[in-house]
Structure 1
Amino acid sequence: MAALRPPRSVSSRDSSDGSERLDGAGSWDALEWTKIEPVTRSVSHVNSEFLLEAERVIEEGHGVVLVNRDEAGTLFVTNFRLLFLSDGTRNIVPLGTIPLATIEKFNKMVVKNQSAPCQIDRSPTRRLLHIIGKDMRIIVFGFRPRTKQRRVIFDALLRCAKPARIWDRYAFTCGPSKFSKPNSKVRLLNEYFRLLGKDSYCASVSMVEEGSFTLSNDLWRISNTNSNYTVCSSYPFALIVPKSISDEEVIQASTFRARCRILVVSWCHPGIGAVLARSAQPLVGLMMNMRSNADEKLVASLCTQLVDRKGSRRKLYIADARPRKNALANGAMGGGSESSSNYFHSEIVFFRIDNIHAMRESFARLRDYLDTHGATSSDGMSSFLVSPAVLALLRS
């Protein structure tokens, strides 16, 4: 981890640009902001070796500085990503290259050197583009003053990151890949065969079409109950369920789970019977008194062996990711959580993970911490350093 960078102070908003204005000096200010003549050669021809299949350049900016690394280069907006090429090595800089779908948000900022109190402020402003990624990255690009390159790049990002039509996205414009890939259903069946210890079997498209994939071992079996996605539209066409449970019981148990997301096996040990399974919340209702014999039988069937190798009786742990109060509150909408008294030799464990809004805020704090203390941070210009609490401390 790198040492904490000197904090910055924040002034009022820049009315001419409509973005935040930050005061402070960074190490990248020492770079030469020399005038760079426009490149007259075809961009797509010069950099074709860096472009993917059907990827095309929309806009470009020259003499752009990747502030995180104090590195100058050329910034391209393509129909797939934001691509940064180093002027020194002419290679792609991974830190400054990010797919458009990975960008959470971006905005323009203005920064200038901090002047002495008695001096007239004549320092040129630095025009920045602030990129926040869904992959924990915070990337900052600096543009030459008195040019329109930042505006051009920003407008191109607006058009390409959020196209008006879904068909304009790269995934659709590039068409089918020239590389052959196995059918997704075939890949799923091969994984199921591996989990069941049936590695000698190899799935095929004909096996999927004929429905001849319902193999089993001593504990588990592959069910084709959801082959037409009629039981649960958000589950795959094939499911691993306990061998002792019939397809009729699977269908009956699905009505007791939210969105019919029945209890299915995600991982199992072919020998000792250890298993991981997942499902949606049970529909126990406001009084938490609704029950389903089929669901309880299905859950109990996960304990295929009641005694482990040490001779101890096995217990079934039902992990609920929510806080207990949230689970109880969901009872008002018909949901809720299991009761250990209704499920054979089980224990309910609440992980106390809060709702999506709290998780999003927690993720943002973690990202800001990494940006502040990381070796490749965005020069300390994270929301952590410009938070009101930190600014009050700096001014005191």
Structure 2
Amino acid sequence: MEGTDGSPPPSLCIVRATEFFPRLNMEKEDAELEVPYQELAGEFVLYLGRTDDGILSLSTYRIFILKNSTNSETSVPLGLIEGLQIRDLFHLIINCKDASTVKCSFETAEQCAEWLRRIQLCVGVPETLESLFAFPFHSYMSDAINMQSEAYNSPEYLERLQRAKRADDDFMSEVVRLGFDLNGTWRISKTNEEFKLCPSYPQRLLVPACISDDMLYEVAKFRGSRRLPAVVWRHKKSGAVIARCSQPEVGWFGWRNNTDEQLLKALSEACAFDRGEQMRRQSQSINTTGRRMTPSESTPSSTDGSHEEVTMDEVQKVLIVDARSYASAVTNRARGGGCECIEYYPSAEIEFMNLGNIHVIRRSFQALRQLCASPADSQNWLGSLEKTFWLQHLSGLLAATITVCHAIEKKGRPVLVHCSDGWDRTPQIVATAQLCLDPYYRTVEGFRVLVEREWLSFGHKFSDRCGHGPGSDELNERCPVFLQWLDLVHQIH
């Protein structure tokens, strides 16, 4: 109960952001210096000093460099920093995870070494999740909005805080926009609401209406990391869908799963039924306009001679796009994985895309970074670029995307995409295909929806791949998968 003065009850503890994330004091090298930018909510400047050509600031969120000679500003988030080094005593080199390099020069070697020490204390793998800047930002931003602070109470910040609340709205909006028929062909399964079906999948999944939740659990047991086939996109005209999953756990003994086979068959039949329903509705629409339908346009009758309407169009085989090479897929059988034995899946065909795994891409990116750090006028620079194989890997991703787009757009076939685990090469192919097929995703809002669904909701391992989450010390798990995809988007654009 509330107090007589309207205050909260004594048992209700209200914790302010300053109690969770106390403000930190700033250390200045010069008392006359002022912070040259507006801090974000929850951001505190730790050190403020001078370079030989401007001002350098280190906060709980970023490094900010202001150069007087060029009047340029550089802001580097701490999570983007991969390494630091000193060159020629006076130059501090900041190497970033996106292959960019930032250089600061100081008047003395002691000052350069001190700034190296300061920054090293603030970067690296965080010990706890709460130490990531997103948490103090959200906490201070929430307090500012509740207290109606003019400093941060703007529509832009308010929009950022409301993103999490819009996840379900985005999902339902996409279901409606893409024309999924939830009254016959498809259904939304909520069996993963507590993430017990698959911890790395979203809470709501689109599946054929004939597939029950119990069947989904059986399929999840047969797929790597329980990442079962789930539909993510539908072609509005043909009804063909794009689905994604992980590899089947076939193993050396060639295990099979009848429910998994039924699910893939249900995907192809659902798309055929979807097309048939569209044709029937179009026929009805034409008929209501007063135009007489010809026998060839009429809805076909059932095979037993009755006059019951049959809305099933020709069933197209599901195209399974395996991002790996055939040799790699077979090798994975030794670890309990593998690929679909096509004789068990008469309603599907499989194609292998021969894309490199995270270790291949990591080596290619390291070679590319070394090349970018070399002088621009070095001999045979383009030849050295070719030897990194970075562009070849992008070409392979684009070829896989074209395979998906051709099957969907030209042939009207449903496509199922997977690699080994379904969270690296799979989102690259699926997201790029949707960019090419659907102009909505080429808008700012659509691109946000695409990234949040294919990369966040479906569990790309950002923490391990980028090394900015607790427990992400394993260097063998690092790989610029998302950065590679952004480069591919840039190349298409």
How high is the TM-score relative to the length of structure 2?
Answer: 0.54
Equivalent residue number for residue 31 of structure 2: 40
Deviation at 1:163, TM superposition (A): 6.9
* Corresponding residue of 1:63: 51
Task: Find the counterpart in structure 2 of residue 143 from structure 1.
Answer: 106
What is the CA-CA distance between 1:224 and the residue it aligns to?
A: 0.4
Kindly provide the amino acid, as one letter, of the partner of residue 290 in structure 1.
W
Letter in 1 for 2:31: T
What's the counterpart of residue 56 of structure 2?
75
8 Å Cα contact 2:82-2:124 kept in structure 1:
no
- Residue by residue, what CA displacement relative to the aligned partner does 1:121-172 show, whole Å, maximum 9, x if unpaired? xxxxx6222222222312233332x342211221111111137643444233
CA apart distance, 1:61: 4.0
Which of 321, 346, 350 aligns to 2:323? It is: 321
With over 3 angstroms needed to count, the CA separation of the structure-2 counterparts of 1:268 and 1:250, relative to structure 1, is same
Q: Distance in 1 between matches of 2:76 and 2:373?
A: 16
Aligned residues: 301
The change in CA–CA distance for 1:271 and 1:247 in structure 2 (over 3 A counts) is farther
**Structure-1 separation of matches of 2:373 and 2:314:** 48
1:298-337 matches, within 5 Å, as: 298-303=263-268, 304-306=270-272, 314-337=316-339
Which of 153, 159, 164 is the matching residue for 2:121? Answer: 159
Q: CA RMSD for the aligned pairs?
A: 3.6
- The alignment status of 1:182 with 2:184, answered yes or no, reads no
| Correspondence for 1:17 | none
Q: Structure 1 residue 362: deviation in Å?
A: 0.9
Post-superposition, which runs of at least 4 consecutive aligned residues in structure 1 deviate over 6 A?
A: 383-386
Whether the 8 Å contact between 2:264 and 2:347 is mirrored in structure 1 is no
| Structure with the larger helix share | 2
The aligned counterpart of 2:258 is 293
**Contact kept in structure 2, 1:340 and 1:348, CA below 8 Å:** yes
Q: Measured at CA, do residues 280 and 385 of structure 1 come closer, stay the same or move farther in structure 2, by a change above 3 Å?
A: closer
Distance 1:373 1:266 in 2: 44
Tell me, which stretches of 5 or more residues in structure 1 are unaligned? 1-37, 65-71, 111-125, 201-213, 390-396
> Which residue of structure 1 lines up, in the alignment, with residue 226 of structure 2?
260
Mark the CA change 1:165 to 1:41 in structure 2 (over 3 Å): closer, same or farther.
farther
Could you list the per-position Cα deviations for residues 279-323 of structure 1 after superposition, in whole angstroms to 9, with x for gaps in the alignment? Answer: 111011113x211111111122222334989x9863422122222
**Which residue identity does 2:185 align to in structure 1?**
L
Distance 1:361 1:171, change over 3 A: same
Residue number among 78, 86, 96 corresponding to 1:100 in the alignment: 78
Asked whether the 8 Å contact 1:232–1:261 carries over to 2, the reply is yes
Specify the alignment match of 1:274 in structure 2.
240
Instruction: Please show how residues 127-276 of structure 1 align to structure 2 within 5 Å.
Output: 127-144=90-107, 146-162=108-124, 165-166=127-128, 167-176=130-139, 177-178=141-142, 179-180=157-158, 181-182=161-162, 184=164, 186-197=165-176, 216-276=182-242
Structure 2 CA distance for partners of 1:339 and 1:199, relative to 1, 3 Å: closer
Q: Which residue of 1 aligns with 2:38?
A: 50
1:335 Cα deviation from its structure 2 partner: 0.9
Q: What's the CA shift string for 1:68-103, capped at 9, x where partnerless?
A: xxxx33222211111111225756x2xx32111111
Tell me how far apart the structure 2 counterparts of residues 279 and 290 of structure 1 sit (CA, whole Å): 18
- Could you tell me which residue of structure 2 aligns to residue 206 of structure 1? none
Q: How many angstroms apart in 2 are the aligned matches of 1:74 and 1:385?
A: 39
Identity %: 29
TM-score norm. by structure 1 comes to 0.66
- Corresponding position of 2:363: 361
Name whichever structure is richer in strand by fraction: 1
Task: Tell me, in whole angstroms, the C-alpha distance in 1 between the residues paired with 2:71 and 2:31.
Answer: 17
Assess, with a 3 A threshold, how the Cα gap between structure 1 residues 305 and 224 changes in structure 2: closer, same or farther.
closer
Distance 1:165 1:104 in 2: 16
Letter in 1 for 2:172: F
